[in-house]
Structure 1
Amino acid sequence: MFVDTVRTRLGSALFSRVAGPDGPANRARIHDTPGPRWFAPDSPVRTVHGDASMFIGGIAALLLQSLHPLAMAAVDAHSGYKGDPWGRLQRTSTFLAVTTFGVEEHAQDAVDRVRAVHGRIRGTAADGRPYRADDPHLLTWVHTAEAYCFLGAHQRFGAHPLDEEGCDRYVAESARVARALGADDPPTDLSALRRRVAAYRPELRATPAAREAARFLLVTPPLPWPARPAYAVLAANAAGLLPGWARRPLLLPYVPVVEETAVRLGGKGMTRAIRWAMTPPS
């Protein structure tokens, strides 16, 4: 009974932080509304997006996305990630949940709302280049970085890593949402995903805004001190997911032996703990 109480309280606290005050109502709407979904119950995209490894994959995706100067300029100027980081996380997690698990009508509504917001975001980066949030090329980069990191985190820390066919299916399924958002020909299998990341590399670099965002995410997160050690484990493993060419511009250190033993073991333990806390007691 005591263990179940601790589990329930910890799970509720995590869910509240990630999903926000409307989390319970959104969860009921997403899962209890009858009707067709974009993805089947046994789809790889549901397996990946429903696993605790997303806590690591999400941080890694933000770090990787920040390396595109135009994408980072839009985030820095318009997202309000410093002033309202938890609100941004809650909106993003709700969007992922609705498009992954919700009925088709609700998923399309969520996509339409995001596209409406993107359509209003325009600006000029520090290097003088104009950007717009609905640029299909930038949307494809944002999606590619997410799929690369979400899948990479799942394969390393997920409860049920996918086989080769499952990885290809995940990339293909996640591309459906990317196309709905306006991405330009998103990759549809794992090999294509890796090639697309490589194709974007000449455009990527770490701007001061990107390094500032990395510091915010990894060193000075808006968390109470008792929660920071657990978050530090997640953040260290998120950095560890990135390839060397992405880490160096963001000034992220690499200590091979420590990372591949103690840090990775800590990541596995932390994701198991989160998975346990957020699974309702039988």
Structure 2
Amino acid sequence: MSGSQGHPPGIPPSMSPAGGLHRRLLDRLRARAGAQVRGLTRSNSGLSLDYDNPPGDPGLFGPDAVCWRVHADFPAMLAGGVSALLMQTMHPLALAGVWDHSTFRTDMQGRLGRTAQFIAGTTYGSRADALALIDRVRRIHAAVKGTAPDGRPYAADDPALLTWVHVAEVSSFLTAYLRYVGPLSLAEQDRYYEEEARIAELLGATEVPRSTAAIATYLERMRPELVVSERSREVVRLVMAMPVASPLLVPAVRIMADAGIALLPHWAQRELGLHGATAIRRPVSLAGMRVLAPTLRWALGSGLAARARRRAAKPAPAALAQSS
């Protein structure tokens, strides 16, 4: 995650506080703000990942991967996560699995944190940690089975359902990056989808779209299968009223939630009943993110991507180098 290392956004270096006391106060402010922001996506899975070891381990992708860039920006990823969640709830079987087997209605932050840990771990974690996360999710999915309100059976490890959840996530994350961070060439966008398809397939997904064009075709093909129910509307309500531990973060979370809604395709906004403010939501969310995102980046510092990059750049132990 990028961000200024020395002073908050909006304060030029020439005007930044001078002296040791001011520096300590600024560092303390930054640490406190960063801790509160990280709390939004703190995982309660009980797992602890080591992003600094082992030396020389590039993980599943390595520092040159496009997903390392896309997943490094916390504000865009949080907005993309909101968009992905709302998209996923439009599939009745995907929603049934989450509704029946998850605590998201009473612990949305916990679910957000576990999802964030999985994405960060499979992107920036060591190869062993990334594969362990994938194996853990596969074991959880194997136990998630039931019957949807329409009478159809569902299973979280259904390859087609896994593909839907995957596409809703990666298309939302990439759209968020392009809108709130910066441009990527079409070739880079295709590389991103190609990279992330590997994670989906390791989870058990099949026929995973691997390019921008294939993603667009897939989403259009899936539209007849999507349904907005009372459960879907309840998820929308929960997202819009997402509880936040720190009152200071409430405005930031509201901005990012609205920024996530603005990422949805127009047809999805319409189906979910969120189209009433479409004309103003995009410019307002853009303006809000321009103000909010630099401050969040400053508070969070260099983040996991920098730690993983340092790990990958370290010389690998001789034994590891010989075995690879």
Task: Indicate whether the TM-score tops 0.5.
Answer: yes
SS at match of 2:217: helix
| Structure with the greater alpha carbon radius of gyration | 2
Can you give the 5+ residue segments of structure 2 that lack an aligned partner in the other structure? 1-22, 304-324
> What does residue range 85-164 of structure 1 map to in structure 2 within 5 Å?
85-158=108-181, 160-164=182-186
CA distance in 1, matches of 2:36, 2:43: 10
CA distance in 1, matches of 2:138, 2:26: 44
Percent identity over the alignment is 38
Counterpart in 2 of 1:230?
252
SS at match of 1:131: strand
Cα deviation 1:92-139 (Å, max 9, x = unaligned): 111111110112121111111100110111111111111010000100
Whether contact under 8 Å (1:168, 1:190) holds in the other structure is yes
Cα deviation 1:149-204 (Å, max 9, x = unaligned): 0000000112x432211111101001110000011121111111111111111100
Whether contact under 8 Å (1:171, 1:189) holds in the other structure is yes
Counterpart in 2 of 1:58?
81
CA distance in 2, matches of 1:191, 1:109: 31
Whether contact under 8 Å (1:31, 1:101) holds in the other structure is no
Counterpart in 2 of 1:191?
213
Counterpart in 2 of 1:31?
52
CA RMSD of aligned residues (A): 2.0
Counterpart in 2 of 1:6?
29
Whether contact under 8 Å (1:44, 1:162) holds in the other structure is no
Q: Does residue 1:84 correspond to 2:111, yes or no? A: no
Q: CA deviation at 1:74?
A: 0.6
Counterpart in 2 of 1:45?
67
SS at match of 1:40: coil
Can you give the 5+ residue segments of structure 1 that lack an aligned partner in the other structure? none
Structure with greater contact order relative to length (CA < 8 Å, sep ≥ 6): 2
CA distance in 1, matches of 2:98, 2:108: 12
Counterpart in 1 of 2:318?
none
SS at match of 2:90: coil
Q: CA deviation at 1:20?
A: 4.0
CA distance in 1, matches of 2:220, 2:52: 37
Select which of 284, 309, 312 maps to 1:262: 284
SS at match of 1:67: coil
Whether contact under 8 Å (1:168, 1:188) holds in the other structure is yes
SS at match of 2:259: helix
Q: CA deviation at 1:257?
A: 4.5
SS at match of 2:36: helix
